[in-house]
């Protein structure tokens, strides 16, 4: 499908692909096993402009488009699903809202270090009772002189254990319901009253940390609100729409890794005197996997093109995220089946791919929520 891409887009993809093959694949198993990330990898990605792919160069980013960004996330995730998670959350959930909703001063202070890869960002929306129901945020922000006083706990925050900066949602006027929710940006290292809570033990994407963020009478400067008070839910929904493209790309990348490894194994594994790749049952599995993954890739590109052109893309992003994650999960299950007993053992990456890809059906809006978003758009219902 190269004929659909510009030379700049091909260059971004090829650079990420080479990095994934040479730098990520050799260490992906260790990162998963040790439940850790590689600071050196993040530094290298920052130097290549991949920690701020779609952020303008004036703010420290790579100055690329969203099609390029989607391909970068897919290639990095093909090399290591957990590292792909770090990059996707940092780009889509932290850099995006600061770029879109931040003031010029906020961009210079909080975006430039993150987009250039010198710092890591996170996005804190989810709480014990607020996930799919984003309007149920209970974390509070009360103005006290020149500071906002923050109280609340955020759950399941990707990059929360390593983040320097954070965009988070809090209610500034509980009497207004979801219209009283605002978003803020802060330097976690300079926020008294903040601490990292529990770091989750997860099924997969173990190279990325998922943590609680605890705010107990934490104070941030008055000017750290993003946009106007009460505009937080609108900002959140727009951020998540964009982020879903990157989750679709992450799923696609893991799915491609599954297919590559299934093909390689099937060509070398012999049963009944010939490679199992010669059996029709195996061929059909791989044909279905390849077709579904290419269809997912086209859905992702369509959503990214719409975003690049400033056109509505909510439905298309939901379709891409839902379909790509479902077919990648199916591919992973079939990949394990093709490898048989070896697919169930940690000696091969296949079982890690199955663990890693499952989360793409869940976070940044479960696939059940994506179907509701798609249906709402089809039926012409408003948010």
Catalytic residues: 364
Q: How far apart are CA 243 and CA 109, in angstroms?
A: 23
Strand 165-171 and strand 121-124: the pairing is parallel
CB 129 within 8 A of CB 158: no
Tokens of 66: 């969203």
- 290 is written with which tokens? 């390849």
- With H, G, I as helix, E, B as strand and everything else as coil, classify residue 275: strand
Answer whether 327's CB lies under 8 Å from 293's CB: yes
Which phi and psi angles does 54 have, rounded to 5°? -100, 15
Helical H segments across 309-349, by residue range:
314-339
CB atoms within 10 A of CB 153: 16
Spatial separation of the C-alpha atoms in residues 9 and 358, rounded to whole Å: 28
Q: For residue 147, what are the β-bridge partners?
A: 144, 221
């Amino acid at each position: 499908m190269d004929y659909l891409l510009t030379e700049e887009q091909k260059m971004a993809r090829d650079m990420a692909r080479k990095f994934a093959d040479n730098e990520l694949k050799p260490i992906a198993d260790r990162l998963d096993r040790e439940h850790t990330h590689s600071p050196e990898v993040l530094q290298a990605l920052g130097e290549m402009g991949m920690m701020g792919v779609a952020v303008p160069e004036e703010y420290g980013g790579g100055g690329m488009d969203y099609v390029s960004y989607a391909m970068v996330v897919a290639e990095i995730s093909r090399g290591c699903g957990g590292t792909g998670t770090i990059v996707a959350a940092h780009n889509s959930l932290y850099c995006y809202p600061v770029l879109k909703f931040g003031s010029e001063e906020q961009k210079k202070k909080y975006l430039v270090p993150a987009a250039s890869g010198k710092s890591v960002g996170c996005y804190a929306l989810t709480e014990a009772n607020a996930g799919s129901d984003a309007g149920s945020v209970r974390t509070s922000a009360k103005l006290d002189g020149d500071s906002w006083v923050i109280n609340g706990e955020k759950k399941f925050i990707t990059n929360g254990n390593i983040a320097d900066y954070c965009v988070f949602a809090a209610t500034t006027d509980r009497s207004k319901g979801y219209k009283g929710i605002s978003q803020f940006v802060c330097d976690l290292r300079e926020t008294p009253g903040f601490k990292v809570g529990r770091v989750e033990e997860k099924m997969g994407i173990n190279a990325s940390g998922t943590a609680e963020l605890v705010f107990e009478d934490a104070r941030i400067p008055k000017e750290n609100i993003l946009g106007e008070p009460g505009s937080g839910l609108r900002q959140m929904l727009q951020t998540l729409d964009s982020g879903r493209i990157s989750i679709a790309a992450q799923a696609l990348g893991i799915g491609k890794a599954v297919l590559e490894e299934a093909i390689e194994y099937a060509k070398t594994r012999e049963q009944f005197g010939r490679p199992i790749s010669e059996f029709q049952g195996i061929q059909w599995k791989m044909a279905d996997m390849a077709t579904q993954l290419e269809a997912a890739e086209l859905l992702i590109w369509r959503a990214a093109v719409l975003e690049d052109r400033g056109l509505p893309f909510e439905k298309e992003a939901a379709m891409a995220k839902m379909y790509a994650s479902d077919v990648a999960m199916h591919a992973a299950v079939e990949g394990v089946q093709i490898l048989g007993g070896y697919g169930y053992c940690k000696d091969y990456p296949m079982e890690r791919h199955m663990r890693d890809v499952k989360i793409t059906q869940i976070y940044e809006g479960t696939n059940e929520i994506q179907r509701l978003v798609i249906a709402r758009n089809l039926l012409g219902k408003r948010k």
